[in-house]
Amino acid sequence: MEYTILRPISDGPIVTLTISRPQALNALNSVFFNEMDDFITEISGNPELRALIITGEGKAFVAGADIAEMVNMSPEEGRNFSGRGQAVFNRLGELPFPVIAAINGFALGGGMELAMACDFRIASSNAKFGQPEVNLGLIPGYAGTQRLPRLTNLADALYLLTTAEVIDAATALQMRLVQKVTEPENLLEEARRLAGLIAQKGPLAVRLVKEVTRRGLGMSHNAGEELERNHFGDPFGNEGAEGMKAFLEKRKPNW
């Protein structure tokens, strides 16, 4: 499929998606959400894929939702724009393989929300994070108010959301908002190394672990255990049998 803002590059089982609208610091507009929705549909149907990396072109990962597109919106249009973005970002969580945000620069507002919608995040040491919506008299609209306290904690989330302070990568690491920080020149290499590690694991196991962990977070402990138990048997007799057999035979599994 042809895209105007998205630049996907496939490398075997790994796709690296670059958001490419550097003249507006990759700000998220309607075209982005339409293309992202189509892109997710396109890759969902590819059983060979094992990981998706999302990064941005230039000095920003994404500097937020497109302020120029939002400025004249009515309350109803604002709600619709938010709902559209939430639905598209939720689809990233439903992909049957991990999505890694490789944050190369500014991840502000909707950009930080996109990063948080990914499964985990690695950041360049020069990345900057913030939820500056209150500077504009707005609140986050792509689930930032919901994901940020779940990823960090209530106080850190409210600190960032109410002060709009922009933090550096080291502080984001301290808040556990990102899992790893690299030198700028090593960011994509490290993202691909992690994606490559994941690609070597049992694909069904990776899909199940993502699904059970994500879904379990919204459940009681007991319901989450039941979900885990219900899926534990799925790889037996197929991928799990091969993985365990390979271990016992001291060889690499042939998924």
CB of 216 to ligand CO8, least distance (A): 27
Q: Is the separation of the CB atoms in 98 and 54 below 8 Å? A: no
Q: Which is nearer to ligand CO8, 27 or 43 (CB)?
A: 27
Residue 136 interacts with ligand CO8 (CB under 6 A): yes or no: yes
User: What is the x/- site pattern for ligand CO8, positions 152-171, by CB under 6 A?
Assistant: --------------------
Least distance (Å) from ligand CO8 to the CB of residue 108? 4
In sequence order, the β-bridge partners of residue 121 are: 101
Nearer to ligand CO8, 140 or 235 (CB): 140
* Sheet strands side by side (includes 167-168): 60-62, 106-108, 128-130, 167-168
Q: Quick check: is 113 catalytic?
A: yes
From the candidates 42, 48, 94, 113, which is the catalytic residue? 113
Contact assessment for residue 126 and residue 184, using Cβ atoms and an 8 Å cutoff: yes
Q: Binding string, 8-27, against ligand CO8, x = CB under 6 A?
A: ----------------xx-x
Full DSSP string of 2-50: --SSEEEEEETTEEEEEE--GGGTT-B-HHHHHHHHHHHHHHHT-TT--
3-state helix, strand, coil in the chain (%, to 5): 50, 15, 30
Catalytic residue (choose from 42, 57, 69, 133): 133
Residue for token digits 């379990």? 216
133 counts as catalytic: yes
Q: Which residues within the stretch 59-118 sit at the binding site for ligand CO8 (CB under 6 A)?
A: 63-68, 70, 78, 81-82, 85, 106, 108-110
Tokens at 140, concatenated: 């986050």
Q: Are 62 and 28 in contact (CB under 8 A)?
A: yes
How many binding residues for ligand CO8 (CB under 6 A)?
A: 25
Rounded to whole angstroms, how far apart are CA atoms 52 and 40? 10
Residues engaged in binding ligand CO8 (CB under 6 A):
24-25, 27, 63-68, 70, 78, 81-82, 85, 106, 108-110, 132-133, 136, 138, 140-142
Would you name the residues annotated as active-site residues? 113, 133
